[in-house]
């Protein structure tokens, strides 16, 4: 039976206080996840479709090209604008809400889109991620049925949010017009299952996602960054290569990436799933709402007609401008790839002497890639990271998991597929699904034997 979730009141000044339970927000108890080798707990394994992981999962049976055709009517076209990097899109813009509400991660476009869909009665519910009432950083999937409920979903939580488990609850309530807000691994599974959901309408609002980890490990990371981790209300990896922390008392702290205590974290601090994830920009969403290319504002990638419909709803609540691009990513990406290959995966740790690091940090901020060039930098790094990590930890999965576009992006840095690593011929999905299940079963049976 569904229960109402006490609404956590988010926002830098709010601390961790809680408002009373309200209507319009449903958080049913979830079944436990089924054991899977590579899994980000998107919710499928907790649902009535648990047996469909083999067909839906980006780690078991990734179908980027096929699903791009299904959703956008075509695959990404490397000859078209920036599609090789960011996936199919109709337009890309820098954008910000004119009046950002408190507690949002950037300017709150994601929250506002959910509110507008509910305000106008376009959907019956939005599936999104609120915070656990006991831990503002722990994700808790919710079914939002009234615009006011979107308030509980503001801001980034760190950890895996089994949003797709709520498809059952939505169906049980007779909701056939849905919106889902999610990261790429969730959206991949959603799109793979979309045809069998029998929905009248589905709006998919995606955010990019670089790295995720368990909430528990995120708390360990916070404790390394500050002496008062319990008071941190906001954390973001800024496009000017700083991590920004905000505290409940309004204070802020900015730490250059190069000074982050990465060496103190275990190599698997970011699980292999997120170190081998190839859809950074959530190419299967109708609209992607990120920040990477937008130099302090938000980055909208409108991918299809439904995405256009979503962004049009914002009207003059949003200020839109052109994206810019400066700097040269090639040297930083080359260095990153060299460090990764030397370490054979894990998290790349720069071994520069301690006294040099502030200088490197300053130079990165001053001369590093900006705008679209920064987004290209991060996408190329992520593709290289995925390939090197899979080579080290799951070589048998590499052939299936690395999409053709990833190989193309890293080729200039000397990363090319070895003969047994070339992507499989697309279009043979039945054969691929069966083979994928075999790999999954073998991996689950031999969790200690790698490759
Ligand atoms: C783990 C993680 C890593 C990210 N990395 C990047 C990145 O590298 N580059 C980039 O451009 N953007 C990244 N994002 C997206 C970014 O943090 C913002 O969510 C996005 O820019 C939207 O901002 P907003 O102000 O519109 O969001 P808000 O209006 O504040 O809404 C935030 C939305 O995020 C959803 N959400 C929050 N936590 C989670 C979670 N753990 N899992 C799934 N959904 C969640 C909620 O449902 C909510 O609707 C990341 C998001 C997550 C969750
Ligand atoms: S589809 Fe993949 S990520 Fe989702 S529950 Fe299944 S194995 Fe895990
Ligand atoms: S990095 Fe990829 S696999 Fe990990 S949570 Fe984000 S979208 Fe999912």
pLDDT over threshold 60, residue 188: yes
Which numbered ligand comes closest to the C-alpha of 184?
3
Q: Which atom of ligand 3 is nearest to the CA of 59?
A: 3
pLDDT over threshold 70, residue 348: no
| Contact (CB, 8 A) for 245 and 226 | yes
Ligand 3 pocket, 273 CB below 6 A?
yes
pLDDT over threshold 50, residue 449: no
What integer pLDDT is reported at residue 17 of this predicted model?
31
Q: Which of 294, 368, 301, 328 is nearest to 86 (CA)?
A: 301
242-283 residue pLDDT tens: 899 999 999 999 998 888 888 888 888 899 999 999 999 999
Torsion of CA 108, 111, 112, 113, to 10 degrees: 120
Return the number of other C-beta atoms located less than 10 Å from residue 61's C-beta: 23
| Contact (CB, 8 A) for 400 and 432 | yes
Q: Which two tokens stand for residue 113?
A: 């889109």
d(CA 145, CA 169): 12
Q: Confidence class of residue 443 from pLDDT cuts 50, 70 and 90?
A: very low
Q: Which of 126, 130, 119 is nearest to 143 (CA)?
A: 126
- What's the pTM? 0.90
Q: How far apart are the first and last CA of the chain?
A: 42
Maximum C-alpha span of the chain: 61
Return the number of other C-beta atoms located less than 10 Å from residue 264's C-beta: 11
If DSSP codes are grouped into helix, strand and coil, which group holds residue 119? helix
d(CA 14, CA 64): 40
Mean pLDDT of the chain, nearest integer: 87
Q: Give 315's contacts (C-beta < 8 A, 6+ positions apart).
A: none
Q: Which of 115, 153, 123, 118 is nearest to 136 (CA)?
A: 153
Tally the C-alpha atoms within 13 A of residue 391's C-alpha that lie toward its C-beta: 19
Ligand 3 pocket, 283 CB below 6 A?
no
Cα–chain center distance at 19: 28
What integer pLDDT is reported at residue 239 of this predicted model?
86
pLDDT over threshold 90, residue 451: no
d(CA 89, CA 300): 10
What integer pLDDT is reported at residue 259 of this predicted model?
84
User: Residues with Cβ within 6 A of ligand 2?
Assistant: 36, 39-42, 44-45, 53, 56-57, 59, 185, 189
Alpha helix ranges (H) inside 394-428: 395-401, 404-410
Taking the centre of ligand 1 as the mean of its atom positions, its distance from the CA of residue 16, in whole angstroms, is 19
| Contact (CB, 8 A) for 40 and 275 | no
CB-neighbour burial class of residue 258 (10 A; exposed 0-12, middle 13-18, buried 19+): buried
Q: What is the mean pLDDT of residues 289-303?
A: 96
Which numbered ligand comes closest to the C-alpha of 58?
2
pLDDT over threshold 80, residue 118: yes
Taking the centre of ligand 3 as the mean of its atom positions, its distance from the CA of residue 355, in whole angstroms, is 34
For tokens 């589905």, name the residue: 202
Q: Confidence class of residue 397 from pLDDT cuts 50, 70 and 90?
A: very high
Instruction: Return the H-helix or E-strand segment holding 318.
Output: strand 318-321
DSSP, res 1: -
Q: Which atom of ligand 2 is nearest to the CA of 185?
A: 3
């Amino acid at each position: 039976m569904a229960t109402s979730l006490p609404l956590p009141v988010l926002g830098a000044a709010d601390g961790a206080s809680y408002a009373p339970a309200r209507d319009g927000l449903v958080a049913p108890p979830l079944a436990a996840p089924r054991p899977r080798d590579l899994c980000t707990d998107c919710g499928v394994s907790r649902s009535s479709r648990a047996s469909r992981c083999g067909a839906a999962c980006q780690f078991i049976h990734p179908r980027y090209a096929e699903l791009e055709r299904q959703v956008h009517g075509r695959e990404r076209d490397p000859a078209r604008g920036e599609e090789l990097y960011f996936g199919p899109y109709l337009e890309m813009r820098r954008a910000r809400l004119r009046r950002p509400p408190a507690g949002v991660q950037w300017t709150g476009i994601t929250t506002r889109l959910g509110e507008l869909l509910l305000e106008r009665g376009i959907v019956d519910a939005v599936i999104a991620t609120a915070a656990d009432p006991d831990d503002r950083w722990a994700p808790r999937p919710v079914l939002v049925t009234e615009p006011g409920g979107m308030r509980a979903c503001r801001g980034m939580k760190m950890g895996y949010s089994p949003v797709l488990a709520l498809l059952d609850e939505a169906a049980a309530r007779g909701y056939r017009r849905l919106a889902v807000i999610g990261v790429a691994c969730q959206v991949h599974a959603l799109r793979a299952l979309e045809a069998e959901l029998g929905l009248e309408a589905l709006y998919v609002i995606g955010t990019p996602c670089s790295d995720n980890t368990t909430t528990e490990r995120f708390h360990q990371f916070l404790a390394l960054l500050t002496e008062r981790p319990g008071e941190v209300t906001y954390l973001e990896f800024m496009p000017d290569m700083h991590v920004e922390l905000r505290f409940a008392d309004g204070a802020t702290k900015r730490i250059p990436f190069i000074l982050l205590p990465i060496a103190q974290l275990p190599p698997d601090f970011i699980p292999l799933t997120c170190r081998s994830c190839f859809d950074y920009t959530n190419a299967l969403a109708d609209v992607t709402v990120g920040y990477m290319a937008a130099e302090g504002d938000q980055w909208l990638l409108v991918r299809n007609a439904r995405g256009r419909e979503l962004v049009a709803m914002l009207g003059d609540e949003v200020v839109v401008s052109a994206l810019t691009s400066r700097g040269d990513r090639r040297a930083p990406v080359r260095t990153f790839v060299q460090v990764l290959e030397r370490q054979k995966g894990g998290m790349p740790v720069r071994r520069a002497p301690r006294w040099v690091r502030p200088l490197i940090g300053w130079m990165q901020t001053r001369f590093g890639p900006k705008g679209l060039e920064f987004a290209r930098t991060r996408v190329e790094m992520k593709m290289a990271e995925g390939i090197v990590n899979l080579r080290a930890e799951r070589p048998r999965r590499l052939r299936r998991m690395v999409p053709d576009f990833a190989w193309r992006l890293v080729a200039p840095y000397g990363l090319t597929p070895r003969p047994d690593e070339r992507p499989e011929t697309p279009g043979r999905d039945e054969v691929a699904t069966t083979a994928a299940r075999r790999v999954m079963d073998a991996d689950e049976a031999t969790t200690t034997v790698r490759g």
